[in-house]
Structure 1
Amino acid sequence: MENVIVYTSNNCPHCKQVKSFLSEQGIAYEERNIETNDEFAQQVWDMGIRAVPLTIIGEHRIMGMNKLQFNKALAPQTEA
C-alpha cells in the first residue's frame, strides 16, 4: 500500500470525514496539520493547493471528502 498523507487544519469538518473514512477502511495515514506546522502549510502551498483536506495517495491528489476518488485511488492496482 502506498503512503497516505492527509493535510488537515483545526476544526475542519471535511478533514474529520476524511480521517474517519480512512480509519473505517483500515487505512493507515499520516496527518499533517497545516495550522500547527508551517512546513506542512508550505508543502500544500507549493503544490498550488489553497484548501484542506488534501489527501495524497501515491500519484493521486484528492481534494475534500470525495469517496469516488478515494475508492479509485485505493482500488487494487491492476495491469492494463
Structure 2
Amino acid sequence: MSERSVIIYISESNSQCKKLIDQMDKWEIPYKTKNVTENNKYMKDLQQQGIFGTPATFIESEQDPILGFQKNKIKYALGIENYKL
C-alpha cells in the first residue's frame, strides 16, 4: 500500500469531497485535509496555483494535483490500481 503524503483540499457541502474522503477511508490511505470553507488561506493557496474548485488532491511525488473525484486516476497515482473495493 502507498506511504506517500496525501493532502486533500475540501469544502463543506460538496458531494465530490465527501465521496473522495469516504473512498480514501475505504482504501485505508492516510491523508490530511485542508478545508477551504473553514480557512480562506487554503483557498488562496489553491487559487495561486490556478485551481478554483474542490476536491483537489495532492499526492507526494506527483507533478500535478488530481482535481475532482477521479477514482481510477487516484488509485493509479497511489499505486493501488489493482486494489479491489
The reply to whether TM is greater than 0.5 is yes
Q: Which residue of structure 1 aligns with residue 8 of structure 2?
A: 6
Question: Which amino acid is the alignment partner of residue 61 of structure 1?
Answer: P
Structure 2: segments with no counterpart, 5+ residues:
81-85
Counterpart position of 1:72: 76
Which runs of structure 2 are paired with 1:23-38 in the superposition (5 Å)? 23-38=25-40
Distance in 2, Cα, partners of 1:56 & 1:19: 13
AA of the residue aligned to 1:42: K
Instruction: Give me the whole-angstrom Cα distance separating, in 1, the residues matched to 2:4 and 2:22.
Output: 18
| Structure 1 moving runs of 4+ over 2 Å | none
Deviation, 1:68, is: 1.4
Number of positions where the alignment pairs a residue of Structure 1 with one of Structure 2: 76
**What 5-or-longer segments of structure 1 have no aligned partner?**
none
Using the size of structure 1 for normalisation, the TM-score is: 0.88
Q: TM-score, normalised by structure 2?
A: 0.83
- CA RMSD, 1 decimal: 1.2
Tell me which residue corresponds to 2:57: 55
The CA deviation string for residues 10-55 of structure 1, in whole angstroms up to 9 with x for no partner, is 1000000000010000011111010110111111111110110001
